[in-house]
Structure 1
């Protein structure tokens, strides 16, 4: 099994930044539950990604550990916006160039207009290594969390590190 050519620009960009990653290929996974079969073989924090849109059309990518409970109907309070909903598949493809099941912070490389605001879970960022799909759901790429931040900063996206485990009123 080989990664598709669509991942080459991502890995070339990471290499240009001097960021080392480790990628393991596996059967396609579409949900956190399906991905759990890969966790034992891949060290680090395993993550989920939520592509969200607020009532004004502002786009967010919320990235957190796979087991973090996120109350989307309460998250808007923490982010200072009105009502959040999941972004539709066609919007996801238009803005981040990936399909549902392949959402990842690496897809921000496909958002040169910086339409997406990035929300990173504080506990995830406190870990040494985190794991994300490399634009496709047939592989998992491990990256140092400091290197993930450097990648996102290089892309010029607005990034907020938020304690998503805290009660919404605590933020």
Structure 2
């Protein structure tokens, strides 16, 4: 299933400019970073998280070099236990596999039941980079345009201090 084409179509529909860099499949953020060295834009990691009962799902975007303070995140979202969502939940909710998680996967969430959070630390960056639902490309987009994209498909973004 081609999950990349709908990303490009939606960005074009919204008249959002973007830059695509094609590269061999990247299995880690370090590997992905090596393929896009020298191109301006914060390198991000996007984590798909869930509570213990898998009744609430969270998409968290932050700098790929920053470590997540899980206790602080739990406090912010008001949950007792948070963990990375299992791969079957990721597939069910976003039609993605581990290593390809990005805000563009929200296009595939028919239930619109994922809460979206971005670490405020990267909000001052002019551009961000993500896999566009495939790990053999990296997409660069202006930060403000990313917010436009996310809101246009029915999500609110909460900027948090991690």
**TM-score interval, normalised by the smaller of the two chains:** over 0.9
What TM-score do you get using the length of structure 2 for normalisation?
0.93
SS at match of 2:158: strand
Supply the distance in 2 between the matched residues of 1:51 and 1:156 (Cα, whole angstroms): 18
Supply the distance in 1 between the matched residues of 2:124 and 2:110 (Cα, whole angstroms): 27
Question: Who is 1:25 aligned against?
Answer: 22
Cα deviation digits, residues 14-48 of structure 1 (max 9, x gap): 11111011010111112122223124242210100
**Larger helix share, 1 or 2:** 1
Question: Who is 1:46 aligned against?
Answer: 43
> For this pair of structures, how many residues does the alignment match?
161
Question: Who is 1:10 aligned against?
Answer: 7
Task: Indicate whether 1:96 and 2:86 are aligned.
Answer: no
What TM-score do you get using the length of structure 1 for normalisation?
0.88
Task: Indicate whether 1:62 and 2:52 are aligned.
Answer: no
Gaps of 5+ in 1: 165-171
Question: Who is 1:36 aligned against?
Answer: 33
Gaps of 5+ in 2: none
Question: Who is 2:121 aligned against?
Answer: 123
Q: Please, which moves more after superposition, 24-33 or 58-67?
A: 24-33
SS at match of 2:34: helix
Shift of 1:65: 0.8
Supply the distance in 2 between the matched residues of 1:159 and 1:5 (Cα, whole angstroms): 26
Question: Who is 1:139 aligned against?
Answer: 137
User: RMSD of the alignment, in Å?
Assistant: 1.4
Cα deviation digits, residues 58-115 of structure 1 (max 9, x gap): 0001101111110224420122212101101111011111110100011111113111
Q: Which consecutive aligned stretches of 4+ in structure 1 deviate over 3 angstroms post-superposition?
A: none
